[in-house]
Every structure is written in C-alpha cells, then in structure tokens.
A and B are shown apart, each in its own frame.
Chain A
C-alpha cells in the first residue's frame, strides 16, 4: 500500500511537471503581458514596460523563465514557497489564497445540496423504477443536464430576485395560484411516496390541502415579512427530524434510539430561550462552536442513559438529531433576523441580491445580520450550481442503486427475513455509496477551479475570476498559480478516490499489477 502511494505520488509529480512546463510555454506564447502598454502613448509607458520586464524577467526566453518559476515552487521543501508576482507586483500566493475561501463558500453549499438531494432522489427513483415519479424525475434531470448555466442564471435573477423582491413589497397570493401550488406539490409528494391507488390519492389530497392551508396561514400571519418558527414550530420540526433520522438509521421499532433522539428534541425545546439569549452575546462563532460541542456531549450522554448495550447506532442517531436540532435553532434565529435585515438602509426591502458576495453598504455590527447577508448572496448561485450538478448525481445514484438491487446479496438479505428498511439502508445504500464516493471526491476537486462561469455571472471574485483575469491580461505567474493549485488538487483527488475505493470495497486491491 505504502509503495503504491509513493509510486503514484511520484508519477503525479512527473505529470505536474510535464503539464506545467507545456502550459507555461503555451501561455507565454499566447500573448504579450506588456502589449497594452506598448500600444499606449502615456509618457511613463517606457519606464513601466522596463519595470515589468525586469520584475517578471521577460527578457529571458519562456523555458528559462519556467525553471525560475519551478525553483519558487520547489522552494516548498526548504520552506521558501514562492509563486512569483502578478503583473501588478502582488505576490501570486496572496491573491490565490485570498480567492480560495470565496470559491469554497460558493462551491461547498451547492455541492452539499446537490449531493444530498441528488442521491436521495436518485435512490427513491431506483426504488420506484418505471413509476410516474421515476419518469418525471428522469425528464427533469435531463432538462437540468441540458441547461447552460448562464442562461439559468439570467432566468433566476429575473424571477427569483427581481420579481420576488417586487412581490415582497406587497405579498399576496391569488387563490388560483395557491390551489395550483397545492396541486403540484400534492402530485410530487404522492408520486414519491407511492403505494396503491387509494393511498396515492389520500396522500395527494392531504398534501394539497395542507399546502393551501399553510399558505393562507403564512399570509395571515405576515410570515413572508416576519418569518419565524417560534418555540412550538421549532419543537415540531425537531421531533420530525428525530423521527426521520431514527427511521432511516435504525428503524422506529428500536426503542433506545427513538428515546434518545426524542430526548434531544426535548432538550432543544428546554434550551430554546437560554440559547437565544446566548445568540445575542458577543463573539458568536465561538458561542456556536461551544453549543455544537455541548450538543454532541449531551447526545452521547442521552444515548448512554437510554441504551445499556450496543450503543453505537444510538449515539449516531442522537448526535445527528442533536445537530439537526441545532441547525433548526440557527434557522429560526436567521428567520427572526429577516425583518431587521429587510429594513436596513442598504437592503431597503429588496433582500434577494442578483450579484456580489456581500452587501458593501451594509453597516451592521450584528453577527446575525451579516450572516444573513452572506446567506442571501449565496441563494442564487447555489440554486444555479445545484441545478446543474445534481442532475448527474440523480442519474448516477439511480443507476448504481438499480445495479446493487440486482445483486445476490440483496436477495440473500431478503431471503433471511430482514425488513425492507434494513435491506435498503444497510445492504443496498452502503454498497451504492462506494462508487458514489469516488465520483464525489473527483467532482469536488474539479469544481474548485471550475466555477468560472458562475462566478462571472454572479459577480464573485474567486478562483474562476482569477483564472479568467490571468488569461485575459496574459498574467503568466497568476495563471500558473491558479493552475498549479487546481491541477494538483485534481490529481490528488484522483489518488484519494482510488485509495478510498479500496478501503471501502475490500474486493478491490490497489497496487496489484499496475
């Protein structure tokens, strides 16, 4: 194993060397970094050309300059890592490492949403192969597959931001629209849950009626301008989360897990007011982190109290429920921040922004208002990125799940009398996740450098923007800096994917042969 990793790392270095050499020379040929200055007739043009030429060593031929660049990179072994300077004499490393958090923020939310939603829907469609739900989701995922992201972005900006903001000025929903929304949601939920005809229509009517009643209530309570869950709504949502997690992880009939999970919800309700009091204190990130540790500790305590033997699954269920409950509490706090945020001068009643990372006009010391600001700026790019990538996850997880369900070990599991939940979650789902994991790892690496278009459409300045500027202004060192980071990440991710595969699936041996 060790020898295999070392050998792969060696090849990886050779590949990086080869492609960076090629890229450096190609990029050096692609344009003149001082071409703009040469054409200008400013008085100090000559001096500036000379200065740039000196600092970027433009007097040397590209292959020689490559080795100067490479020496900076190899400096990492002697503790002097250097990526060179940009055209504007800023260290490349600084520019790149400034851009990484932005890109991560943009990409992580979208990737997590896409992965969770995509795998969930993919697996449900596999379980309901050839149902109406399967067909409509197949069509839907192909449709998303076929959309250019900048086209989606323009539509999102128009309908989710501009028109939604207009609508928020005076939120009313006409009855026909309400009924349509109810009917559509009913169809989707009924198709996803399935069952015989009677159950289908029952689910359909309950969902549709429930949606319409909820919408009426939301309008009556002015929920769109003053949203909140309140202690009761929060508790109901938390109990729902507890039931769902217990059902998925061990099944509702497993009493210790159910008790531990419900205990976490009750703890959440009890601590609702104290925690909200804490939320108004200074130094919020530390408070949230402390609360997270407290949640995990109490979840472990609860499971030790409720389960005498076989505590592993109980701890898992309780911790997950606790974390979800905590997220619900944060969501509730953010919802109650909505009204003050909405009424700040910088926002002025138009809360969904179309471009930018944060609202620079927003002057607020309140942690929650700035957090909500960041979240609102993430809404549109996240929807766009999610829509594009989750179609792939749906297709892939559906295909893998169908393949796994055809295996002999699934038949064995059923034959020995395991219930359907155990067969699906323990035997099928885990095996489906093996190839999924490798795909996720590789995707995540490529997505880091690949959000060029999204960043441009939504006016973010991350890695994609750096790459784009570098190409357009022939900024060689900047380009190589971005390339070096994304390429090595992609290669390492490939290696990690191979290793993960062999860890998760003992049938695969790495290093054998190749």
Chain B
C-alpha cells in the first residue's frame, strides 16, 4: 500500500521533456530566477513578509538621524491611556477590534481605540507588538548577515586551501560551537549594561555561523576539484580570482539557502533568550519578551499572549517558505511538479510540430 507507485517511468520521461523545453537557451541565473518565481508558496511568503515589514516599520514614530518619522499609529510604546472598560467578565484593557457588524449584535466592523487591547498599565498593545516585531526583524537581519558573512568566509578559506588551514579553522569552529552564547551575553550584560538590541544581535551573529561554515567548506572542497577550476588555474588565474569568479558563484545557492534557515532560527533564538532574561531587556520590547511577561495571563487576558505569538510564527513561517523556494530553485535535480496545463501545452506543441 505504502509502496504503491504509478507510471513513474513514463511520468519521468514526460516530465523531463517538458522541463527541458522550458529551460532551453536560458542561463543558469535565468533558470533559477524562473523556477523561484514559479514557486507559489515562496511568492506568497515574500508578499506577506514584505507587507509585514512595511506595515510594522511604518506604524510607529521613530528617529532616523536628525529626522523624525511621525508614524501612522496614534500611540507610541510609552503612551499611557485609560484602560478600556466594558469587556466581558469584568476585564479591562481588552481588544477593541471587532469584525461583527452592529446588526448582528456586535460593535461594528472597525479597529476601535486599541485594536490589540492594552497591557496592565494601559499602554497600547498594538504599539508594543509593532515595536517588538521591529526588534525581531532587526535581529533576524543582523544575525543573518553577520553569521552569513563569517560563515562563508571561514568555510570558503578552509575548503579552498585545505590542509593545515582547514584543520585549524575547523577546530576553531568546534571551539565556537562549545562556547554557549548565553554566557557571552551575560558577561556583556554585566559589564556594559543593556546595550540595546542591535548589539545583542551583533554578538549572537558572532556565534551563529558554525553550521553554515561547515556546509560552505564541504561545497568548496568538491567544487575546487572540478575541471573549470583547473582550467582557470592553467589559464593563470590567481587564487582570489578563482575563489570569487569561479567557485563562489557556484556555491551561492547553498549559502543563500542556509542563510535563510539561519535567519528563521535567529528569530526564535532571540525570543528564547529574551524569554530566559538574557536577550532584550525592559524597557525595550521584543516579541519573546512580551510573551514571557504575559504567559501567566493567558487564561484571563489571552490577547496579551496571542498577538506577539502570531507575529513570530508568521515571520518565521514566511522566511522558511522563502528558503524552501530558493532551495528548489537552486537545486538542478529538483523537478517542478507537472501540472495539467503543462501536459496540455506539451501535447499542443507536439501536434503542431507533427503537422509542420
């Protein structure tokens, strides 16, 4: 039953011919781009993620250098206002957003004063969640870029030069793996106080590159034995040129994919650290901090728990789907599913060529 399989051989050859038709005369980059654009889940994820980024960063007032961007949301994270009353079960500060129209007995479709409710001292929870999401996105990008750069450089050098350099760098990687990032965090916290979220992300990035460097090293070890590298060397190319012009472009797939995974891991790492009290500290806000502050109030005031969680999950989910789309696009063996439309197109083409 589990082993049933139907027409794999014929489907294979049919699939092969359709895919070959599609990629005829295209460069590697064009094929990758085309495959990525056809990946529906990744496209939806990109759309959702960029909407979230724009939405979240435009919501609040913030200072950019000498300018102050006003933000379209009426509250900031420090503004206190009176707690909403008239909620169910005598609670205060409940969300005012409502989707039920008045003629159905609801409060009408609209956001109200505090769409996500208020926290226990009356701060607007929408503003807090927006700030938390900003922090989490920032952490993700910083960890991703720092970890990505270090991991690529270390892996590339180790894989390209092999021998002594390789063993030293790989043992150094093992060394970094054994040092827990939490300790470094608490040392920095003790000596310099709360240095803010960008700094936190920076030092987390310094420890997040180990997995990536191993992958890149493996890829470089294989690629440097290939014929085109020999050809370049015979033609007199320098090591630098071989690394940047010949090997790196071929390894870029695996790098991009692992960096997306690194980023989706980073957002969870930041929330976990904040939860344990080693990450973002009050008065600053992050999604993980919000959840950990209000986890006890889940039974009484669930909105304090749901909204930050939903933002974390959505952001991480989008990054994972984009990573999956990229992996499919960069993997030459990965074949797209043949849709009914493709089969029809192929039949039409065949007929046309038979008639011609």
Contact = CB atoms under 8 A, between A and B. Distances in A.
Interface string B166-184: 1100010011011110111
B5 A127 contact: yes
A491 B271 CA distance: 27
Contacts, number: 122
A146 interface: yes
Contacts of A29: 187, 190-191
A31 B190 contact: yes
B324 A150 contact: no
A169 B110 CA distance: 40
Contacts of A387: none
Contact of B312 (A151, A420, A452): A151
Contact of A146 (B166, B187, B312): B312
Contacts of A145: 264, 316-317, 320
Range class of the B interface residue count? 35 or more
Interface in A452-498: 452-453, 456, 467-468, 471, 479, 483, 487, 490-491, 494
B321 interface: yes
A424 interface: yes
A420 to B, nearest CB: 4
Contacts of B271: 148
B1 interface: yes
Interface string A1-36: 000000000010011101100110011011100000
A210 to B, nearest CB: 16
Contacts of B333: 403, 406
A491 B174 contact: yes
A154 interface: yes
Nearest to B265: A145
Contacts of B182: 471
Nearest to B273: A453
Contacts of A491: 174, 178
B2 A193 contact: yes
Nearest to B321: A142
A396 B6 CA distance: 25
Range class of the A interface residue count? 35 or more
Interface SS of chain B: helix
Given A29-B190, A406-B333, A456-B276, A147 B2 contact: no
B292 interface: yes
Given A31-B190, A193-B2, A146 B320 contact: yes
Contacts of B4: 194-195, 420
Given A148-B309, A158-B299, A127 B183 contact: no
B321 A148 contact: no
Contacts of B264: 145-146
A514 B167 contact: yes
Interface in B303-344: 305, 309, 312-313, 315-317, 320-321, 324, 333, 337
B19 interface: no
A333 to B, nearest CB: 31
A273 interface: no
A143 interface: yes
Nearest to A27: B183
A148 B312 contact: yes
B187 A30 contact: yes
Interface in A173-198: 192-196
A429 B137 CA distance: 40
Contact of A26 (B3, B184, B299): B184
A138 B183 CA distance: 35
A494 B174 contact: yes
A418 B253 CA distance: 37
A148 B268 CA distance: 6
Contacts of A487: 178
Interface in B42-89: none
Contacts of A471: 182-183, 186, 278
B295 interface: yes
Interface string B1-36: 111111000000000000000000000000000000
A150 B2 contact: no
Interface in A93-142: 124, 127, 130, 138-139, 142
Given A148-B288, A193-B2, A424-B3, A30 B175 contact: no
A468 B324 contact: no
B292 A150 contact: yes
A453 B272 contact: yes
Nearest to A130: B337
A15 B291 contact: no
A30 B190 contact: yes
A19 B1 CA distance: 52
Contacts of A406: 333
Given A154-B298, A483-B180, A146 B276 contact: no
Given A15-B171, A146-B313, A124 B320 contact: no
A421 interface: yes
A398 to B, nearest CB: 11
B295 A154 contact: yes
Contacts of A490: 177-178
Nearest to B8: A414
Interface in A356-378: none
A158 B298 contact: yes
A148 B291 contact: yes
Interface of A: 11, 14-16, 18-19, 22-23, 26-27, 29-31, 124, 127, 130, 138-139, 142-143, 145-151, 154, 158, 162, 192-196, 403, 406, 419-421, 424, 452-453, 456, 467-468, 471, 479, 483, 487, 490-491, 494, 513-514
Closest 3 CB pairs of A and B: A146-B316, A420-B3, A130-B337
9 contacts: A27-B187, A29-B190, A30-B190, A127-B5, A139-B41, A147-B313, A150-B291, A162-B299, A453-B272
Given A143-B317, A151-B309, A487-B178, 4 more contacts: A139-B41, A146-B320, A151-B313, A194-B4
